[in-house]
Amino acid sequence: MKPIYLDHNATTPLHLRVRQAMQDALAIFGNPSSIYRLGREAHNLIEEARQTIASFLGAQPQEIIFTGSGTEANNLAIKGVLRSACEWMHRPPEAFHLITSEIEHPSVLETCKGLAAAGVKVTFLPVDRHGRVRVKDFVAAITPSTLLASIMLANNEIGAIQSIRALAREAHKRGVIFHSDAVQALGKIAIDYRKIGADLLTFSGHKIQGPKGVGLLWVRRGVRIRPLLDGGPQEGALRAGTENVPGIIGLGKAFEVIARKDLRRSAKSVAALKETLRRGLMQRIKGIRINSPSANCLPNTLSISIEDTEAESLLMQLDLAGICVSSGSACSTESYGEASHVLLAIDLSTEQARATLRFSLADTTTRKEITEVLRRMPGIVAKVRSISPSYLARTSGKKHPRRSRTT
């Protein structure tokens, strides 16, 4: 039986048109920096992809910097802007202040923690219980030394969408550069990226039916940034290294596929399926907490905690049933047992965070698949609860020592 794949925030299958374009691109072996015909051929294909992406985003082609991943683009945005400010203002990194949030993807969070450990001042803003940064907290955090703020557009674990336009406006009023990780928003919601006002935006290929190992940073003209890698002058001297030609062509094709979609319509139908899933789970299983906000949320993302279960056991049982979902986030599968920082930030206990599943749908998800998941889930939850010490203790009337919350 074909697996039921409900983990599109972790990654997505390659779109057939992307796969075809990449297969064709594998035959293009010239180095895009070479001036003879074979090189120019590769170069032209990269520039075509850049043009496609720029026109979808409303950017200038030269503002698009291809990178090896969304992770790299986030690193480049934050460290590259800081590095540039240090150089042209002749000041050490410790002279600058950065703002981010507690629920960022690790590629932003760990970058900021690393910089904080090296002496840069960093504010990690808390979020409300819906996972939203409060604009007043953001404004209050800005100081005269604030250089850059990095706040994600949409969260990968719970789907919360931030008021990026308002945050960017407040940042700009105070001369602060604004970066947003838009990896999870792209292709899921209709956004005019030009109008949200961010100075730098990160995107990744494999979340939009494009290839893995390719991402991009949109750097608005006028934003000062330095490269992280020393080497050749590729990508406007901002990302050294011979370009991943098939990857970039695949990324361009994935943007082309999105551009042809009616995102408003597909968001609506995905949201309707998600609602069927949410309602069906609530009706069939007791002790469910919904972690995804009901408003300002990605239409495809549903995070739930199921009392008296462990996500690991649920995932194993779901896998046996041919259902692919995730616990919290894919990035935390290597650190099983560690509660998700996002879930703790919206005030879940460690216990609740460890009992969390994330369903992430796509416009290819069918009603039949959702029906099948709803049919399977009660039995799976009952099985996992049947060996859960807390459930057994509660249902037999004995007291179970609750684990304390760690942050």
- Residue ranges binding ligand PLP (CB under 6 A): 69-71, 105, 107, 152, 156, 181, 183-184, 204, 215, 331
Please identify, using beta-carbon distances, which residue of 181 and 307 lies nearer to ligand PLP: 181
Cα gap 97→368, rounded to integer Å: 50
Q: Whole-number minimum distance, CB 105 to ligand PLP, in Å?
A: 4
Q: Whole-number minimum distance, CB 70 to ligand PLP, in Å?
A: 3
Please identify, using beta-carbon distances, which residue of 180 and 388 lies nearer to ligand PLP: 180
Q: Whole-number minimum distance, CB 186 to ligand PLP, in Å?
A: 10
Cα gap 111→115, rounded to integer Å: 6
Q: Whole-number minimum distance, CB 334 to ligand PLP, in Å?
A: 13
Cα torsion at 322, 253, 195, 207 (round to 10°)?
20
> Are 209 and 67 spatial neighbours (Cβ–Cβ below 8 Å)?
no
Farthest-apart Cα atoms in the chain, separation: 79
| Residue 230: count of CB within 10 angstroms of its CB | 6
Q: 86 an active-site residue?
A: no
Residue nearest ligand PLP by beta-carbon distance? 70
Q: Amino acid identity, residue 320?
A: L
Q: How far is CA 179 from CA 13, 80, 196, 362, in A?
A: 28, 12, 11, 26
Which are the contacts of 376, defined by CB distance < 8 A and separation ≥ 6? 318, 321, 323
Please identify, using beta-carbon distances, which residue of 166 and 331 lies nearer to ligand PLP: 331
- Parallel, antiparallel, or unpaired: how do β-strands 301-306 and 288-290 relate? antiparallel
Q: Whole-number minimum distance, CB 344 to ligand PLP, in Å?
A: 17
Q: How far is CA 314 from CA 41, 64, 139, 283, 309, in A?
A: 50, 41, 41, 18, 7
Could you give the residue numbers annotated as active site?
A: 331
